[in-house]
Every structure is written in C-alpha cells, then in structure tokens.
Structure 1
Amino acid sequence: MSYSVEQRAKANSLEYRLFFKNCKGQYISPFHDIPMFADEEKAIFNMVVEVPRWTNAKMEIATKDPLNPIKQDVKKGKLRFVANVFPHKGYIWNYGAVPQTWENPAHIDENTGFGGDNDPIDVCDIGSKVCERGEVIKVKILGTLALIDEGETDWKIIAINADDPEASLYNDIEDVRRLKPNYLESTVDWFRRYKVPDGKPENQFAFEAEFKNKDFAINIIKSTHEHWKALVAKKVEGGEINCMNVTVQESPFVSKAEEVESIVKATPPCGPPSPVSENVDKWYYYQKN
C-alpha cells in the first residue's frame, strides 16, 4: 500500500505537522493505521521515516496528538536539533519507527531490567538512499542495539531498505560488520554521545553495547507489537498516548472520517519554512570517555 503526507504550518516552527494519508486519500495515523508488516511471509517490515540521514531536526511521531502526525520535538519551549558531534553530521542513518509497536513503560524488559520509553520502536535504516521525511519504506531487519536512555529501555533496530540495490547482501548483523567496517561502532558512538552537547551524561547500553542478531531483533519487535495491540484495544493504560485511528476494527478508538478531517483542518495551512539558527551547523568536539 502506498502512503502520502500533507504538511501543515511552517517547517521549523512549533506548529509544524506532517499528516499521513492512505492510498484512498483518507487521513490516518502512522502509529496505528500503517501495518507493522509489509510482507509477513518474507519478514519485511514497514518503517516510517521521521528523520532523513544527515539532517538535524529531531522529528518524531507525535504519540500524544490526535492522528499522531510527525512534528519536531520541543524542550523548554524550543525546537530540538541534534548536535553535530564530530565526526557525525546530524543523523547517520535514515531514522524512524516501526508502526503498530509500543515500548510499554510499565513492562520491565527481561533483557535490560528497565521499562520501555513509551514510543514506537526505533529503526536505523543503513541503506544508501537518503529518504524523505514521512516516507514509508519496506525494511529487512538485521539486528538491534539496547540503548538505556535516562533509565528507559530504548531499542534501536538496525535494518536496510528492502529496495536498496545491495539489500540481498545483508541478512544479519554480521553482514553489516563485514560489509560496512566501523559502521556499527560509529552507531554506538553516535548514540552514546549525542546528548552530551546538551549537558547530559553519555548514554549507557545493555549487553555492553553488543548488537544482537536478526532473530533477536524480530522477537523484540513482535513483543512491542503485542504491547501495542493491548494499548489500542484499551486493555492496558496508555496515559497520554492518543490512540485515534481509522482502521483498527477491534479498537474502541476508531474514528469517523469527518472527525479525522476536522483534526487536520484545525491546524494552520502550509507556509514557507521559518529560518533556522546557524548554531544547528555548529560542530562539537570532546574527548571520549
């Protein structure tokens, strides 16, 4: 199935939102209405691209907003941009999430000893194409890294765009290590240090920052899918998470087209992007711990 996006308000503004539509032109939630699997038989998953490679704006599926559009994260009233921590420029992969997954904060992960981060599970696409924000791509799962982010389990799935010219060469995490030397080490380095310019300590990892293989990663994704199913069926308490959707028939949160359209139309229309501070392109250097 193909998907499209509709921008509302100005990019680089607090009001900016990127809403999703299905092939019928209906507004949908990228969190709840896009299937987890693109092809279950071949173990190909859908990935919603939130942040294109080399960019800095910390975009994310807005889990607390109706219809869960993509918006820019905000801290202390200001838009968040990820710093360039030398030698990394912005995000070093296409970054996004697997739809219909949820890292439940009330569930203590047996592998890490911490609860989830309350978001869909994160994906790093290592393919050669620089994707567009809001693009929905099909990915092959290769492995995972268990980041411990401020006391929360934050799994990072490593995957490759199934349409990548070299996708057939990548079938497990060791293929990444063999074909892209130092790429996994750079990924650990990026996640370890990306918050340091904001005055935060280095992030920690479970398994001493060892990557787990494809089968392990797929099992983690499937477990977060089970948590999502309980969330959207209102079998567990989701707190502030908004479960409005248009296709999940077993969900009490299914909404009619008129209600869904009113959500979108209530946001400002698209406009020219707002200017971005030149500090976004600043480089940060510091000694590794």
Structure 2
Amino acid sequence: MSYSTEERGNPNTLTYRLFFKNSEGKYISPFHDIPIYADEAQNIFHAVIEVPRWTNAKMEIATKDPLNPIKQDVKKGNLRYVANVFPHKGYIWNYGAIPQTWEDPGHKDDDTGCCGDNDPIDVCEIGSKVCARGEVIKVKVLGTLALIDEGETDWKVIVINVEDPEAKDLNNIEDVRRLKPGYLEATVDWFRRYKVPDGKPENQFAFNAEFKDKDFAIETIKSTHTFWKDLVSKTNDGGLNCTNTCVSDSPSCCSKEKAQAIVDATCPCGSADPLPSSVDKWYYFEKN
C-alpha cells in the first residue's frame, strides 16, 4: 500500500493542513487507517514522518481533528517552532509517529510510574535521508528512550528506515552507539533541553536516561497498539477524534463521501507565509 498527501491552507499559517490518501485515492487518517505493521512477522513498522530532520516547525498528527491531518502545534495562538539549542539545529532526526498506537493517559506505566501522554508513540528515524513531511516509511526498531514530559510518559523510539543503506548494520541500540558515536548522547541532550528557551525546566527521564533495547521497545509499541484498539472501538474517545475510513469495526468509521466533505471544508492550498526570523535564532545554555 502506498500513500500520498494533499496540502490545504497556507503553509506557515494556522490554516495549514496535510491530509492523507491511500493508493485508491480515498482520504484516510494517518493515526487510525495506516496499519501499524509493514511486516508483522519481521517486526517492521510503519512510521509517519511529521517533522523532517533539521527543520523547526513543530508539526504533528492532529489527534483531535477529523481525519487527523498533520498541522503545526499552536501555543497561546501562535505557531510553535522548536528552538535551536546549541549545537542542535532544529530536529536532529526525522521525527514522527507509529500509526495505530496510543499512549493511554489513563494507564500508569509499570516501569516509569507515569501515565501516557495521549498521543501516538513517537519515533526518531536516524537514517541518512532527510524525509519529507507526511512521508510514510517502513522502519525497524533499535531501542527506546523514556522521556518524562511534564509528568507524562512520552516514549521516543529509535528507528531506521529499512531502505536506508545503513539499515543492514543497525539492528539494536548498541549498534547505534558503536556506528554513530555521540548520536544517542545528543538525543538525550536534545530532549532534555529543548523546552528551556521557553522558560521551562529541563525534562527528566526514566531509567536514568538510559536507552532500553530493541526487544523492550517492540513490546512497548505493541502495548500502545493494544491501547489504540480500545480507543478506536469506543464511541466515547476521551477528546480524541477517531474518524477513519478503513477500520470497519470502529463506530467512527465513515464513508468516502463524508471524508471528502471533511477535506472540502478546509481552506484550499495557498501560498506560504515567510518563516519568522526567530526560527534562526540560537540559544546557548550551560548543561546542568
């Protein structure tokens, strides 16, 4: 199955949306309709890229909007951009999410002692290619980091595109440590400090900021898939929008025509606004 995207609204504005279509041309939800597995027997997962590497716009699957298009996060009425905290320029991986997963805010994790953050599980794709926003790739899992973000468990799964030239040599978290020295340490540093320019304290981690291995990460993903199954099967979705077009046993499954109407109700694609000059600013902090 292949996927395509359709832009609506004006890039770099509050109107911007990126909708998804399947190979049949039907609008779909990247949260609910793209299968979690690309190859279940080999534990190969799909990943939806929200933020290409080196960019700053905090784009994300809109979990509360019909069909869950990608849009830019907003805080106090303003579009959010991740600051450049020296030496990191924007996001240092292709950042995205695994579809059909959900970190349940009503479930306290036995290992972290914190509940989920109410989002699909996040991935940091570390391959050589800079992906496109909305690109759907097949990834293998290498390990995971347990970020505690404002008291919530926010897993960051380290993955690599199976089509990447380096994929054959990267099979577990220790391979990343050996073949990409400094990358895991930079990942911890990025997540620890990226909110500091906003006046917030450094983020904390479970497991003393140590990465858990591939097997642990895969089991974590599978548990979030179970939570998603419970979410999409209910009519009371806890504030999230479960509108989909392919999950036939879901009460929120809608017709092709209704999905078309959802997209038609948004603004047509227009010209992009310029990025604010503040996006290029650098921040410097001593590490605690």
Q: TM-score, normalised by structure 1?
A: 0.99
- State how far apart, in whole Å, the 2-side matches of 1:25 and 1:280 are: 35
- Give the corresponding residue for 1:247: 246
> Paired residue for 2:165?
165
Q: Which runs of 4+ in 1 moved over 3 A?
A: none
Equivalent positions of 1:1-289 (< 5 A) are 1-234=1-234, 237-289=236-288
- What secondary structure sits across from 1:280 in the alignment? helix
- Amino acid across the alignment from 1:272: S
Taking the aligned partners of 1:152 and 1:65, their CA distance within structure 2 comes to 22
Please give the alpha-carbon distance, in whole angstroms, between the structure 1 residues aligned to 2:285 and 2:251. Answer: 50
What is the distance in 2 between the residues matched to 1:257 and 1:45? 26
SS at match of 1:261: helix
Matched letter for residue 247 of structure 1? C
**C-alpha separation in 2, matches of 1:287 and 1:178:** 27
C-alpha displacement at 1:172, in angstroms? 0.5
Q: Distance in 2 between matches of 1:273 and 1:4?
A: 20
Q: Which amino acid aligns with 2:136?
A: V
* CA positional deviation for 1:84: 0.2
**CA-CA distance at 1:271 after TM superposition:** 0.7
| 2: CA distance, partners of 1:170 / 1:276 | 36
- Provide, for residues 251-279 of structure 1, a one-character-per-residue CA deviation record: whole Å limited to 9, x for no partner: 11110111110000000000110111111
| C-alpha distance in structure 2 between counterparts of 1:119 and 1:166, whole Å | 29
2:258 & 2:24 partners in 1: Cα distance? Answer: 17
CA–CA distance in structure 1, aligned partners of residues 250 and 270 of structure 2: 35
RMSD across aligned positions (CA): 0.7
**In the aligned structure 2, how far is the partner of 1:188 from the partner of 1:238?**
33
Unaligned ranges ≥5, structure 1 = none
Q: In the aligned structure 2, how far is the partner of 1:223 from the partner of 1:23?
A: 29
> For residue 79 of structure 1, what is the amino acid of its counterpart?
L
CA distance in 1 between counterparts of 2:84 and 2:116 reads 27
Q: Distance in 2 between matches of 1:41 and 1:105?
A: 29
* Cα deviation, residue 42, structure 1: 1.3
Alpha-carbon distance between aligned partners in 2 of 1:257 and 1:140, rounded to the nearest angstrom: 32
Distance 1:148 1:82 in 2: 18
* Amino acid corresponding to residue 286 of structure 1 in structure 2: F
The alpha-carbon deviation at position 239 of structure 1 amounts to: 1.4
Secondary structure in 1 matching 2:270: coil
Q: Deviations over 1:87-140 (max 9, x none)?
A: 000000000000000000000000100100000000000000000000000001
Q: Percent same amino acid among aligned pairs?
A: 73
User: What CA distance in whole angstroms lies between the structure 1 residues aligned with 2:140 and 2:272?
Assistant: 34
The 3-state SS of whatever aligns with 1:46 is strand
> For 2:50 and 2:129, how far apart are their aligned partners in 1?
14
Long gaps (5+) in structure 2: none
Shift of 1:250: 1.5
Displacement after TM superposition at 1:238 (Å): 2.9
Give me the whole-angstrom Cα distance separating, in 2, the residues matched to 1:166 and 1:102.
29
